[in-house]
Amino acid sequence: MRWFEDFREGEVTGVGPVTVSEDDILSFAQQFDPQPFHVDAEAARESPFGGLIASGWHTAALYMGMFVREVLLDSASLGSPGIEELRWTAPVRPGDTLRGRSRVLEARPSEKNPKRGTVYSEHEVLNQDDVMVMRFRSYGHFARRPTST
């Protein structure tokens, strides 16, 4: 179980992989992002992307799935207040295999709440060719390790 104190600045953690199918791409996009280049293979071929690509929000959700299962579920995570500078840097296509890595940039105890701290991290998502498809920085709140008295 990782508490706030267990996240150390500079620490790098890898997660994944996960492979995304055409059905996955269509299913997410039909619900949440039905732009033609996400839901219609023929229209996508005529688009600047030259074929079907995943919604950027789907890529974010796929990374989150890996990060939660491999990192946060074994931690005292208390949720996130937000994200800085998210960039979708290359298309994600059917059959792509994604993995991610995160690096702790800063770990800062809360000034308001002595039981909590904030971990500021950068995250990168790469495909099977080591091309970065997404990056962002996140804040995460974590409970501090209880002190025994």
Using CB under 8 A, which of the segments 61-69, 94-102, 103-111, 119-127 binds a second copy?
Answer: 61-69
Rg (C-alpha) for the chain, rounded Å, is: 18
Residues 3, 40, 70, 78: which binds a second copy (CB under 8 A)? 78
Using CB under 8 A, which of the segments 7-15, 56-64, 94-102, 121-129 binds a second copy?
Answer: 56-64
- Measured from the CB atom, the residue of 3 and 57 that comes closer to a second copy is 57
For residue 46, state whether it binds a second copy (rule: CB under 8 A). Answer: no
Task: Give the three-class secondary structure for 137.
Answer: strand
CB 15 within 8 A of CB 99: yes
Residues 1, 8, 23, 82: which binds a second copy (CB under 8 A)? 82
DSSP letter for 72, please: G
Count of Cβ atoms closer than 10 Å to residue 82 Cβ? 7
CB 70 within 8 A of CB 46: no
- Measured from the CB atom, the residue of 44 and 107 that comes closer to a second copy is 44
For residue 79, state whether it binds a second copy (rule: CB under 8 A). Answer: yes
For residue 57, state whether it binds a second copy (rule: CB under 8 A). Answer: yes
Task: Give the three-class secondary structure for 116.
Answer: strand
- Angle 67-63-94 from CA coordinates, rounded to 5°: 145
What is the rounded CA–CA span in Å between residue 125 and residue 47?
24
CB 18 within 8 A of CB 4: no
**Number of residues in contact with a second copy under rule CB under 8 A:** 36
Residues 17, 80, 94, 101: which binds a second copy (CB under 8 A)? 80
> Which positions lie near a second copy, rule CB under 8 A?
28, 31-35, 37, 47-49, 55-57, 60-62, 64-65, 68-69, 72-73, 77-89, 136
